[in-house]
Structure 1
C-alpha cells in the first residue's frame, strides 16, 4: 500500500471540509450576530499520545506498535470543530425593536415549532398576533413565560422602551400628553453554565440539550441589553479570505502529490515489475 497516497488523500479531505466552513463564514458576513466556525487540525498519533493514559487498554501501545504504520498515523484530520463566540460590532439603528447583547454568554429565548431555541439576533418585529417576534415569525419569550412559552404582546400605538436588564416599558404615542411609561414585563435573557453545549440548528438559532436545561442559569443578565442596536457578524473578511487562499493552496498541493503517485510512481513500479518478470 502506498502510504503517501493515503496521507495526501486524507489531507485533501480535511482541507475540503475546512473549505466548507470558511465558505459558510463568508456567506454569513452580513448576518446579524452570526458566530464564525473554525477547526483544529491534528493527526492521530498526536491525539493518541495526548490521551493514551485515559484509554481502557493500558498495554495497547506496546502490543499494537508492532503493526502500526507510523506514516498512516500522521494523516491530517479535523480533531475539533468549534464556534468563536466573541461579540461582533454593535451597529446603531433607529428601530426601537432592535436589541443587542454585549455579553458573550447571553441569549434571547424564542419559541419555534421544534421547541425553545436561543439566538443573539435581536432584530425583532411585531408578529401577526401582535407579539414580539423574530423575522422568521418565532415568538420572543418573556422572562415569566420562559417555561410556559409565554410571549410579549405589543399593543397598537404603543412605543416600546427597554432598559439594560431587559425590562420593557410602553408609552402611548397617540396621547399628546405622554404619560409615564408603563411596565410591560421583561425579555428573557438567559445564560448557560456550559455554553459549549449550544449547537447551531440554522436560522441563527441554537439548541441546548434538554437533559442539561437545569444548567440554564439566570434570567437576568445585568447591563446586557442595548436598545436601538444590532450585533453584527464576528466574521473578519480579511482573515477568512486569507484562510480561503491558504486552504486552496493546500488542496492544490495535495492534488499534485496524488497525481505524482498515480502517474509517476505507479508507472515506474509497473515498469520495473514488468522488466524483472
Structure 2
C-alpha cells in the first residue's frame, strides 16, 4: 500500500471520530447537566518522542529509531478522549424539586437496575409512591441509604418543600404551617478523579467495575445544593459549530488527497511504466 494513501486514510478516520464527538455534543446542547466530550488529536511520532527516554534502546536518540516508518508515524489519530467537567450555566425554574450543584466535582446518587449511578441532572420529580426520582424514574438516594436501603420518600401532606445548601429536606406540616418537618438528606458525593467516570447514557455516570459504597465520598458539610435551579449543558454551540465546519473541510481536503493518490499518481505511474521509448 502507498504510504501516502495510508496516511490520508488514517487522517480521515480520525476526523470521522471527531465528527461523531462534535455531533454528540450538539445533540446534547439542551441536556441538563451534560458534560462536553473532547478528543486530543496526535500522531505516533509525538507519542514516540514522549516515551523515547523510557524505551530500552542502547542509544536513545532519533537515530536509534531509524527503523520506524516515518510516514506512518505522522498519521494523526485520537490520542485521548476526555470530558470537560466545567460548570454549565444555571437556570432558575422555580420548581422546588429542581436541584443544581454549585461545585463541579459534586454529584447526586441514584439507584438504577444496574446499580448506583451518579448524575449532575437534578430535574427530579415525585412518582406515584411519593419517592423522589429522576425523569427516567430512578430513585434519588439519601445520605443514609447504605443503612436504611430506602430512597427519599415525601409524604402526601408535604407542602412548602425546602431543600437547603447541604441537601437537608424539610416541609411544612399542613396542620402547623409554621413547624418544619425533617424528611431526609440528599446523598451528595464528591469525585476526586472525575476523568475516571464513564458516561453510561441517560445522563448517568459510572466507574470501572460499577459504583460501590467504598468509592463514594459522601459530603454533608456543603452549601452547594441550589433549590429551584437547573444546571444546563456546558457545550458552547458557537465553538462546536466552528469545529464542525473545520472538521468537514479537513475531510474534504483528505478526500482530494486520496483521489490524487489513487487516480493521478497511479495513472501517471502506469502511463510512464507502459510507455516504450526507442
TM-score normalized with structure 1 length: 0.93
Aligned pairs (5 A) from 1:53-64:
53-55=53-55, 57-59=56-58
SS of residue paired to 2:88: coil
**Aligned match of 2:180:** 181
Q: Distance in 1 between matches of 2:26 and 2:231?
A: 17
**Distance change >3 Å, CA 242–CA 106, structure 1 → 2:** same
**Unaligned ranges ≥5, structure 2:** none
SS of residue paired to 1:48: helix
Aligned pairs (5 A) from 1:1-277:
1-55=1-55, 57-59=56-58, 65-146=65-146, 149-159=149-159, 160-172=161-173, 174-175=174-175, 177-210=176-209, 213=212, 214-220=214-220, 222-275=222-275
> How much has 1:65 moved relative to structure 2?
2.9
The question of whether the paired residues in 2 share the 8 Å contact of 1:100 and 1:230 is answered with yes
CA offset digits 1:182-228 (Å, max 9, x no partner): 11110000012222211100000000234885343233251110000
SS of residue paired to 2:218: coil
Q: Distance in 2 between matches of 1:120 and 1:225?
A: 11
> How much has 1:148 moved relative to structure 2?
5.9
Q: Distance in 2 between matches of 1:135 and 1:215?
A: 25
SS of residue paired to 1:178: strand
Q: Distance in 2 between matches of 1:48 and 1:132?
A: 51
**Distance change >3 Å, CA 181–CA 107, structure 1 → 2:** same
The question of whether the paired residues in 1 share the 8 Å contact of 2:53 and 2:60 is answered with no
SS of residue paired to 1:226: strand
> How much has 1:276 moved relative to structure 2?
5.5
Size of the aligned set, in residue pairs, is 274
Q: Distance in 2 between matches of 1:200 and 1:2?
A: 39
The question of whether the paired residues in 1 share the 8 Å contact of 2:34 and 2:203 is answered with yes
**Distance change >3 Å, CA 226–CA 147, structure 1 → 2:** same
Runs ≥4 residues deviating over 6 A: 60-64
Q: Distance in 1 between matches of 2:255 and 2:149?
A: 53
SS of residue paired to 1:180: strand
SS of residue paired to 2:177: coil
**Distance change >3 Å, CA 2–CA 107, structure 1 → 2:** same
SS of residue paired to 1:181: strand
Give the alignment's Cα RMSD to 1 decimal: 2.0
Worse-matched range after superposition: 138-147 or 20-29: 138-147
Q: Distance in 2 between matches of 1:143 and 1:8?
A: 53
CA offset digits 1:240-269 (Å, max 9, x no partner): 000000000000000000011111001111
Q: Distance in 1 between matches of 2:225 and 2:267?
A: 66
Q: Distance in 1 between matches of 2:147 and 2:207?
A: 14
SS of residue paired to 2:51: helix
